[in-house]
């Protein structure tokens, strides 16, 4: 016996007329997220390095914390916040400086946390909101890292933030999720590095930026998914190299 369910496209229409802020939204995974949100009717403000057709473009240097207030003000009027920016640091703990700690944790945890705090009041008042983050490889649970411990610690903290928002603000129609990708094919990676990273994956292929973006949109569409920290790494493990 088969049951036919007519799909009315309701999930595809939930972004129509919503205001979205995509940090890192003009390149790589972020660009794919921005394009998909615009295709689903959202009004996208994209923060990045290059203009993006159809989106409001913000060219703001986030390495200067004095500029964070500008983004915070924008987030306070936003229905959808998606942060896919997260500078990486590969360095042993004994060689990491205080400045590097501050910069990496600031970019990967403090800044996203500030966006959440700024966005929540408007989302609570309107009874609807979507927050999505890009985590780090294998940062879905607490674990140790040999050469990227600072970055890993910040991204694991981001996973805790996801859980905190989902548990306490879900009753306002707000969801918060994250995707933790593996090695992704973007324009920010050189050809030789792409070959090295691809060889580490079980199937010898990099993950596409489109697939990661689709994972983020999948989590944002359905309110059933709240507090999810989703691995999207093809099952990669350090034992693969």
What is the reported pLDDT for 185?
82
The DSSP string of 166-224 is HHHHGGGTEEEEEEEE-SEE-TTS-HHHHHHHHHHSTTS-PEEHHHHHHHHHHHHH-TT
Render each residue's pLDDT in the chain as its tens digit; 241 residues.
333 334 445 666 899 999 999 999 999 999 999 999 999 999 999 999 899 999 999 999 998 999 999 999 999 999 999 999 888 889 999 999 999 999 999 999 999 999 999 999 999 999 999 999 999 988 898 999 888 999 999 999 999 999 999 999 999 999 999 999 988 888 888 899 889 989 888 888 999 999 999 999 999 999 999 999 999 988 877 766 5
Cβ-contact 180, 140 below 8 angstroms:
yes
What is the reported pLDDT for 1?
34
Number of other CB atoms surrounding residue 224 within 10 Å = 8
What is the reported pLDDT for 208?
95
What is the reported pLDDT for 12?
65
pTM of the model: 0.92
What is the reported pLDDT for 2?
36
Specify burial of residue 203 (Cβ count, 10 A radius: 0-12, 13-18, 19+): exposed
Output DSSP code: residue 74: H
What is the reported pLDDT for 183?
86
Sequence-ordered list of residues with C-beta below 8 angstroms from that of 82, at least 6 positions apart, any chain: 20, 21, 22, 23, 25, 30, 33, 37, 130, 131, 132, 133, 216, 220
Distance CA 234, CA 213 (A): 15
Residue 197: φ, ψ to 5°: -70, -40
């Amino acid at each position: 016996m088969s049951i036919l369910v007519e799909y009315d496209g309701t999930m595809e229409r939930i972004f129509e007329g919503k205001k979205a802020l995509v940090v890192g939204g003009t390149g790589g995974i972020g660009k794919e997220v921005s394009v998909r949100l615009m295709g689903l009717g959202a009004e996208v403000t994209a923060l990045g390095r290059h203009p993006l057709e159809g989106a409001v473009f913000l060219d703001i240097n986030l390495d200067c914390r004095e500029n964070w207030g500008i983004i915070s003000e924008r987030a306070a009027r936003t229905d959808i916040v998606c942060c896919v920016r997260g500078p990486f640091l590969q360095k042993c703990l004994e060689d990491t400086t205080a400045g590097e700690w501050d910069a990496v944790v600031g970019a990967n945890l403090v800044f996203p946390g500030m966006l959440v705090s700024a966005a929540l009041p408007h989302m609570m008042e309107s009874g609807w909101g979507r927050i999505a983050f890009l985590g780090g490889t294998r940062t879905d649970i607490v674990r140790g890292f040999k050469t990227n411990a600072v970055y890993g610690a910040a991204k694991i903290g981001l996973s805790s933030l996801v859980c905190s928002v989902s548990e306490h603000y879900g009753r306002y129609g707000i969801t918060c999720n994250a995707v933790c990708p593996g090695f992704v094919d973007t324009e920010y990676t050189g050809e030789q590095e792409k070959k090295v990273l691809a060889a580490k994956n079980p199937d010898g292929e990099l993950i596409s930026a489109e697939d990661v973006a689709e994972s983020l949109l999948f989590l944002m569409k359905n309110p059933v998914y709240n507090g999810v920290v989703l691995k999207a790494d093809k099952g990669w493990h350090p034992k693969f190299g």
